[in-house]
């Protein structure tokens, strides 16, 4: 088994915790001696132990008194550079030094200034052999939310909508009319468990009265974000229930009432996507799904402030309606989800 095999195993482990470690990256760690995995672990929840101590712990649990000697012969694989600073947990690089590991193989260097090469340097200074850059692109894409937040000072932004076969997005008379099928809805709810937040505009909140929860899929609810400049959404609407934290961006007040947070912004008619993105960055929100309406989606598209677009296309057609937003991106994946087609676009001009 080569280095790439074990780094891929790190990614498999790390993916188990998707949606639970933000704003930290997803990290897995595999410890190997003579081609045999003797321990592995992953970062399970924000604020708790990182992947490396969990992997070391598993070695001691499995091998008892032999663990210390085994670790001195071991190679540790980790998809992101071990941290070298004290945060909510001690430095993981120090743990490898303490147990005198023979070698550490790394996917990505950590872009965070508190680490960025410092973990590698600490390992090398202790006489540990270090190889980095294994499956670098794959590991970077895997933690694209984290890299976007650190390098661009904004959350990873996902645009999502459903459209008819003839590219209508919503009705013209303001009545809700469902476009995609039940499997598409379940998948959309799974996505909600994987991202930090979900954002809609005032019109969507009023017309659709959505719950914006993950009730069709096991997992956490995202933070609900609503753009409501003049606070016109009725407080009887679902977004004001206690099922999830809700943030209302508006021009009138800043206040906290139970789980409802009002954040006042100035001149929301100017540079709104940029203001929202920066505010979410300041709040440590690492990723957001934007579900509409058409005007909000259009603003983020025109500002070129998006990373992925996930579009469900149904087989049905309407005689009239509001046209779907136009996405100018690279079509990378297509899937059949029940009777709907899912197209995923990537924005290659975000850098």
CA distance 42 to 11: 9
Give the SS3 label for residue 238: helix
Tokens 């993950």 locate to 214
Residues 51 and 78 sit within 8 Å (Cβ to Cβ): yes
Residues 197 and 223 sit within 8 Å (Cβ to Cβ): yes
CA distance 120 to 109: 8
* 178-185 CB contacts, 8 Å cutoff, 24+ apart: 179/312, 179/314, 179/316, 180/312, 180/314, 180/337, 180/340, 181/314, 181/337, 181/338, 181/339, 181/340, 182/338, 183/337, 183/338, 183/340, 184/312, 184/337, 184/338, 184/340, 184/342, 185/216
* 163-167 CB contacts, 8 Å cutoff, 24+ apart: 163/311, 163/312, 163/313, 163/314, 163/324, 164/313, 164/314, 164/316, 164/317, 164/318, 164/321, 165/313, 165/314, 165/315, 165/316, 165/317, 166/317, 166/318, 167/323, 167/324
Q: What angle do CA 41, 46, 52 make, to 5 degrees?
A: 25
CA distance 31 to 15: 18
Q: Could you tell me which residues are beta bridge partners of residue 350? A: none
CA distance 210 to 260: 16
Six-digit token string for 349: 């001009």
Q: Known catalytic residues?
A: 52
- Helix (H) or strand (E) segment spanning residue 69: helix 67-72
């Amino acid at each position: 088994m080569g280095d790439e095999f074990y780094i891929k195993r790190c990614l498999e482990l790390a993916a188990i915790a998707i949606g639970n470690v933000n704003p930290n990256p997803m990290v897995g760690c595999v410890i190997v001696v003579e081609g045999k995995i003797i321990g592995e672990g992953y970062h399970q929840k924000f604020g708790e132990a990182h992947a490396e101590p969990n992997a070391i712990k598993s070695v001691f649990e499995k091998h008892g008194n032999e663990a210390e000697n085994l670790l001195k012969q071991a190679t540790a694989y980790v998809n992101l550079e071990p941290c070298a600073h004290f945060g909510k947990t001690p430095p993981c690089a120090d743990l490898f030094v303490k147990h005198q590991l023979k070698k550490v193989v790394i996917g990505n260097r950590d872009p965070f200034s508190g680490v960025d090469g410092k973990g590698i340097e600490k390992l090398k200074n202790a006489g540990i052999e270090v190889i980095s850059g294994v499956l670098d692109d794959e590991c970077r894409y895997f933690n694209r939310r984290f890299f976007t937040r650190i390098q661009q000072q904004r959350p990873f932004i996902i645009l999502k909508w459903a459209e008819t076969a003839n590219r209508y997005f919503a009705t013209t008379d303001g009545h809700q009319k469902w476009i995609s099928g039940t499997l598409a809805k379940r998948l959309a709810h799974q996505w909600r468990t994987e991202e930090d937040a979900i954002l809609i505009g005032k019109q969507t909140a009023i017309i659709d009265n959505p719950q914006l929860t993950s009730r069709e899929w096991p997992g956490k609810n995202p933070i609900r974000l609503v753009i409501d400049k003049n606070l016109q959404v009725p407080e009887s609407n679902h977004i004001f229930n206690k099922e999830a934290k809700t943030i209302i961006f508006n021009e009138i007040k800043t206040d906290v009432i139970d789980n409802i947070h009002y954040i006042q912004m100035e001149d929301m008619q100017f540079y709104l996507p940029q203001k929202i993105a920066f505010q979410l960055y300041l709040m440590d929100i690492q990723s957001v799904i934007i579900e509409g309406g058409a005007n909000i989606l259009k603003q983020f598209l025109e500002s070129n402030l998006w990373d992925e677009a996930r579009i469900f296309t149904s087989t049905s057609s309407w005689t009239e309606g509001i046209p779907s937003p136009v996405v100018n991106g690279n079509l990378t994946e297509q899937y059949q989800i029940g009777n709907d087609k899912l197209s995923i676009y990537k924005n290659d001009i975000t850098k």
